[in-house]
Structure 1
């Protein structure tokens, strides 16, 4: 079963197409890793998959309520503890148990520490632990391993593997080897042509 299906998709940044002619599916149990140079449109594609912005053209077939999105911001409240941050997000998404998330990202010993007092790597692990309390099957992730050391990257890779083994799917922009079975999708050949802009495009949105 495909959890994401994309047909003839064009995505834009600042009203200008950056990638076009994208066609792919991500079935349950699969990890799709996006590759391409900086500025090639990976973040724009991820934001479109997560329904944070509309497609410029084409279609994304995926229920928005199935998607958990994580980008460069950790999404933490600095005055709340580790457990309070996770409990907040668990409440937002329906009250999922936070204990598994604490263990998966080696946060058990930090559970009472304020998020504002965590190191950059610890904050990143806490931000990623939020994924486990969403209960959502599709993870859309933009450079999730920023600030993580090798041991923490391994923890993240194990969490992704467990997620897809349980029937989830993931789309990840990363240049890091996560140590998981993955399908690599290079966005470089799909760079939009200069003549792609629609004549009726409203420049007010630039």
Structure 2
């Protein structure tokens, strides 16, 4: 379980959020909403341990993530707003970097899940923005991490890809995983438990 306790962060003398608290158990889905500049990405980076809050803390199974960083990161999949993939490499080479122990057949099967069968050996620089995004999201079909933290995962996706991704998120939560994400896309009602938290500088969430 991940827990955020009384997080606060300011930027350029402007409070983005304070007293932000959240508890997320296995099998739960949380969407963080808010206007541009509200601090959504900053909050996700703090939850991942990539940025430090001005006050408050983040805990994994009751321990500060700074003390259990390796164990926490083994259970965490973080996908930022940018795809985080290398343009010069092929789709399969990118996935091989993240999952070197998986076979080429396993990686190809995951690419097929996101509609990229036959694109395994094409350099990403030759693919569209939406196709590159799909390559990045293929990690959701290959990871064993239980907690997914995703920043705008639906960016550059068409309607069919959004539906495929939504089904994958539902499947993960329904099988005991947890998801925290931000999105500007209106989301349909999921088949799994879900909460929407609007980020404000007085945000405090009761479990």
Give your verdict on TM over 0.5: yes
With structure 1 as the length reference, what TM-score do the two structures score? 0.82
Q: Distance in 2 between matches of 1:57 and 1:28?
A: 26
Q: Partner residue of 1:158? A: 167
Pairs within 5 Å for 1:69-80? 69-80=78-89
Residue 142 (structure 1) shift: 1.0
> Unpaired segments of 5 or more residues in structure 2?
61-71
* Pairwise CA distance, 1:20: 0.7
Larger helix proportion of the pair: 1
2:188 is equivalent to residue 190 of structure 1: no
Q: 1:107 to 1:168 in 2, by over 3 A?
A: same
Q: RMSD over aligned Cα, in angstroms?
A: 2.1
TM-score by length of 2: 0.81
Greater CA drift, 54-63 or 94-103: 94-103
Partners of 2:57 and 2:79 lie apart in 1 by 22
Q: Which runs of 5+ in 1 are unaligned?
A: 192-206
How many aligned positions are there? 187
Equivalent residue number for residue 26 of structure 2: 28
Q: 2:121 aligns with which of 107, 112, 134?
A: 112
Q: How many Å separate the matches in 1 of 2:12 and 2:201? A: 21
| Corresponding residue of 1:59 | 57
Tell me, yes or no, if the aligned pair for 2:18 and 2:201 is still in contact at 8 Å: no
For residues 115 and 42 of structure 2, the distance between their equivalents in structure 1, rounded to whole angstroms, comes to: 31
Q: C-alpha displacement at 1:164, in angstroms?
A: 1.4
Post-superposition shift, 1:59?
1.4
